[in-house]
A and B are shown apart, each in its own frame.
Chain A
Amino acid sequence: MASFKPTKIQVYPKLGEKVTQDTLYWKNYKAPVQIKEFGAVTSIDFSPVTPHNFAVTAFTRIHIYGPFSQEPVKSFTRFKDTAYCGRFRSDGQLLVAGCEDSVVRLFDVSGKVALRLFKGHTKAVHLTDFTSDRYQILTGSDDYTCRLWDIPNATELTTYTEHTDYIRCGVTSKLNRDLFITGSYDHTVKLFDARVEKSVITMDHGQPVESVLLYPSEGLLVSAGGRHVKVWDLLKGGQPLVSLKNHHKTVTSLALSSNGQRLLSASLDRHVKVYNTTNYKVVHNFDYAASILSLGLAPDDASIVVGMTNSILSIKHRKNQEDSKEIAGQQRRRPSYRVFVKGKNYVPKQDDYLVSKPVKEHLAKYDKQLQRFNVSKALDTALGTYIRFRKPEITVAVIKELDRRGTLKNALAGRDERGLSQLLNFIIGNLVDARFTPVLVTAAEMILDIYQSVIGQSPVVDRQLLRLQDLVKREIEFQKDLLEVLGMLDTMFASSLPRKESASASAPTVDPFPTCSLNTDS
């Protein structure tokens, strides 16, 4: 006597990304806080000292936000035109910002009025930064020059005129007070040494450079421009190391995670991508609502701040430990382990007579019904809310099993309006899923056969049938388009393949899309 063989639930390859450590880490953020700014957010800079406030440059203002506040702690509004690139000094006391009116302003973080004004550039200043000795300021401007200024007496120290286009980004070395790097729209990234008159290393990025970033060790440099993100080895004299092309629009901003293991790039294509810095593979991806202009990552990855063209600032805070602990606490409310092992670990003694108990085989609820040939009940069980929404493959497997037993019609028939609409809902939801289509098409056809006499009696069912018809129509359109694309691809492959004299065999093609044959009899 064989035991009942349970319904086979087909294991489908998991769609979507695999759950990795990275996914878990980067998903562990709360829902974003969205703040409306006055214009496109062009720059975000975190203060190096606690509490790690961050300066957000948007239109003619710079707002400083605290780590948890949704209102700005401080605002700098004394700009005559659009402000650019508000940056903190390494002690978090001073803030520098460029402006469209070519004047560079230096602020005390606690004050309101600019401490110093650096005038000398002739066009908008998009790049400002402090050197590591804290006494000088680097600026880069649309007048193709970059300059070093002395803070105490607000004088210009040096001017570099090597770039031949706008200078839009740059960074100073944190380890050496004389080194700084600028990126320009003339496609080059240049490393300058303040002790000499001209650039030391020039790297050709190939596209207008939008952002540069130095690794903490300052051996590697990352530059972003166009769709490319490139990594350069400075210690080898600016040798290109990797070129990443994972975005499909201009990459605008770069950031490095706190431990230096992950690199983040933001782009106009509304994505933020996370790379592993050892193999430079994309390990995670964030989607945003609009094109991203600026990206900031708080120390310890405590929050991700993203500024977008639609003047929205999005702040994602990391879930803290207590929250996750709370969830764990809820899960612990179960019988203790001892309850389950009670008596199970008893080792029989020598004289004990062992009474063997037949192992009770566990069957799922729908299998129990199937075992008793209760086909309608089995389908009802498989259409339960949890299974229907969370594990549609089980419902589909039961429908398939009923079809194999030749009793699907019996199971589908005799349903009232509620039951039928539930069934139709499920079919509408899953019909176009390529994994379920073959099974559900048969079921849908059967439903139409069975219930065609009652069409028109229930508005709910009628509406759903119309939806189903619509869905099928749309799906057929899609399939047609796909086949057209496939045909085009085939032609392209055929023309691109080198022709051999003996190549009589047709080009190997793999059909990536199982063509669905759907009948439009609804």
Chain B
Amino acid sequence: MVEHGDIRVVHCGGSKINFRDPVITHDSRFLLCASGEAVKVFSTSTEECIHELRGHTGLVTGVLLRPSNHLQVYSSSLDGTLRLWDFTDGILIKTCVIGYPIYSFYASDKHENVIFIVASMPSDKRRFQLVAVHLPQSGDQMVEAQELSAVLSGVNPNPAAIAFGRGGEFIASVNDLQWSLEGGWNTFTCVACHPKDDCIATGHEDGKIRLWRNFNHKKEYTYSTLHWHHSTVSSLCFTPEGTNLLSGGVESVLVQWRYNQESERDFLPRLGGAITHITVSPDGSLFCTSHSDNKITIIQSCVKVSAVIQGLVKGDIRTDLMMDPRSKALVLNGKPGHLQFYSLQRDKLLYNLDIVQQEYIHESGLQQFEVVKAAFDASGSWLATVEERHQKAAELELNLKLWAFDEQTQSFVLNTTISAPHDAQITAMCFCQPTDSQTTLLVSTSKDGHFKAWQLAAPAHTEDEGPSWLCDFVSAYHGLVPECCSFSADGSLLAVVFQEVVTVWSPSTWELLTTLSQPPGAVSDLCFGRLSCSKYLLGTTASNLLCWNLLTCSLEWTTSMDVRRLVADPLSENMAAFCYQSGSTDLFVFKPSEPRPLFSHKAVCSGKVTQAVFAPREEMLESCEESSQWLNRSQLYFLTQQMDLMTFTTKAEEDRLLASSKQVSSSHWFSMTPFYLLLGKHRQQQQEHQDSDSSLWAERTALPQTSASMKELLQTPAHVLPSTSYLCSMFVQSLLISVSDARSEKAHAEEEMESEKEEEDSEEEMESSRSKPELAAAAATESDTPALTKAQARELRRVRKLDHSWLAGLLDS
């Protein structure tokens, strides 16, 4: 066994951003949301992530602006701490240790220095209570909250279930008590309080919204009902002035109700997944909805969507993990009926490709079309997708779609739709690999016992329709069900697994070359060796990993392990096998030709791993350690049973990343104002200077200071600024400081240029000032060529001058 040394399994990308409701800052420029163990700060205009506020050691359960200071934000976590951050700079200001896991928390304007948290009851972990916490006033970084007083017990840990009304005068809490009214049972799902009025809005599971009034008097409360949603109302929110009520649910329609004129409503339909949270910016200009597909939509006053922050969608992933050969993006199915292209380097969703191209009906219990298989060809110019919809008591609807990459639009365009390509579900699909051949071949295997080869055929008629895909070959083997298929690296062999039998075919003649079999157990995964190991064919059964030698058609070696997933690195001979053993998964990386594994890692994660992929690196690593060499060319990503995307990193790589992240200045996120354009250009120039001349390192440290002064100048309201004449000099000066060195250098260069110009102006002058260029010329030529005589040099210069003027004349004509 090889020690795994400094290689570590890390989470990669795409934590949930829709776990708790996001917060929009007072200036509407930033959006803060809880994302795993961090709080992410996004720009509302550019959709970019600006900071990650890291420090919590548990899941972050809430984010709230500090009522007394709008530039600070509280966050709560299951690790039992409240932290106060400065989100503009991404600095942790204070940590307050509570000691209990916090499930959600609230603050109000009325109660200064009091935070209301929801924690589990000490007596019963499954019941929760609302606790008021008095934050200790001390300057320390780390404080412990002592004053705790229970406010309400038996509350719902869902943050939507508690709301503060009228700036903290009362607390409304709903419980998931079954509540009987008008003969029907109803469950509260969320609550919102009117900011000015004594009115509480509650959302219910039957899609109704109830507005409660007069609740100050016992038993005399009144309520009115609003009904539009057809299923559960998942979120409610009043606008800051209380003129509108926003509601959302599984229909993915944002409904805006006029307060007191409830018959008038506005709709914003088709926002994406089901709406989970709605928030409004403090000035009411921006609305923001979180969706179940890990997406945050920013809406400008219920009119139009201005920005979409999309995370990695990790629902029920049924496709394999794939790499798009062109964009090097990870491809997997995300939103229903879509394929998502996720950039691993930038941790950002590039785009969603609509595969099904049908209106998505938001209704529970409805069988939708799902993308179940997808495959890229080697060059990334073709994408094949399979979508299926299985309805009870109806035939399986199956579509095979082939997409061609369009250079102009830089996306995939539907080329061929084959409805019902097989009679039963498609079990596997792969493209022929070689890049040199003209014809592309796709093989699909199905549970109906057949495998089919599809080929791009020229148009049958000389009409304007392009080439399309046609079935080229159909075959079966003794009525067995083919489980998977694989092409060899050069495309000369096709292996199709029929339960226990591996059949090897020649794609050019469609001849059955040989059959390989190693009972007992059906072969579940198949892989051809690559490069120097291309003579090997690897297969996995429930109990064994098998390796056949294709030259001798015999079994080369076998080991007994329960391999769930076998992936081959496209750039090397390496293979990775994920073995499931006693509740957790082990990883072995090996070469088919060598008996000893290159790398092994026990208990990579709990549960089974069924999806994994090798992603080629953009730049190769230079690691020479034996155990981490396999990570040099490509990186291994895999999905755990809990749908977490994980990867392996080395220590060296992490250090490098850390260093580079420190270098990245925070200057990227400024919004595009005319000043920004001015300053941005200026700063770019500076950076170019710095890149060209690394000796100006000292300059770099001075930069933030000057920019800060400028920022201050630009952000101060105009009426409190001193006179312009005074400011101007200051402004100009602030600009000049940073380029002082460069300017002197530039001046020097200019002098030189001038002198050279002068010497070419006239021959007489040139002769007089000959000594200096002569010297330079001598210095330049000394080393390799004999020095020219003066006459020769003059001749040369004249020739050059002549040549020059002639060329200029030609250009003029």
Binding site for B on A (CB under 8 A): 1-5, 7-8, 10-11, 18, 370, 401, 404-406, 438, 442, 502-506, 508-510, 514, 517
Contact = CB atoms under 8 A, between A and B. Distances in A.
B553 to A, nearest CB: 13
Interface residues of B, number: 37
A3 B270 CA distance: 7
13 contacts: A1-B270, A2-B272, A4-B359, A10-B419, A405-B366, A503-B512, A505-B478, A505-B503, A505-B512, A506-B477, A508-B473, A514-B420, A517-B395
Given A18-B461, A404-B361, A504-B512, 9 more contacts: A1-B304, A406-B363, A406-B366, A502-B512, A503-B512, A505-B478, A505-B512, A506-B477, A510-B474
A5 B358 CA distance: 6
Secondary structure dominating the interface of A: loop
Nearest to A509: B474
A5 B366 CA distance: 18
Max chain B CB contacts within 10 Å: which of A401, A405, A503, A514?
A: A405
A1 B476 contact: no
Contacts, number: 64
Nearest to B512: A505
A3 B368 CA distance: 19
A4 B475 contact: no
Interface string B335-371: 0000000000000000000100111010101111100
B270 A8 contact: no
B483 to A, nearest CB: 17
A7 B359 CA distance: 8
Contacts of B304: 1
A5 B512 contact: no
A506 B474 contact: no
A430 B359 CA distance: 26
A438 B366 contact: no
A8 B389 contact: no
B183 interface: no
**Most chain A CB inside 10 Å of its own CB: which residue of B361, B365, B473:** B361
Contacts of B96: none
Contacts of B477: 504-506
A508 B474 contact: yes
A5 B476 contact: no
B766 interface: no
B489 interface: no
Nearest to A2: B270
A405 B270 contact: no
A506 B305 contact: no
B363 to A, nearest CB: 7
Interface in B77-97: none
Given A5-B359, A8-B358, A506 B461 contact: no
Contacts of A506: 475-479
Given A404-B358, A406-B366, A1 B269 contact: yes
B475 A505 contact: yes
A134 B641 CA distance: 97
B395 A438 contact: yes
B270 A4 contact: yes
B359 A1 contact: no
A518 to B, nearest CB: 12
Contacts of B515: 504
B353 to A, nearest CB: 13
Contacts of B271: 1
Contacts of B389: 404
A8 B512 contact: no
B268 interface: yes
A438 B367 CA distance: 17
A504 B478 contact: yes
Interface string B551-579: 00000000000000000000000000000
Interface string B365-381: 11111000000000000
Nearest to A12: B419
Interface in B457-477: 461, 471, 473-477
A503 B477 CA distance: 10
Given A1-B268, A438-B395, A505 B359 contact: no
Contacts of A509: 474
B394 interface: yes
Nearest to B394: A442
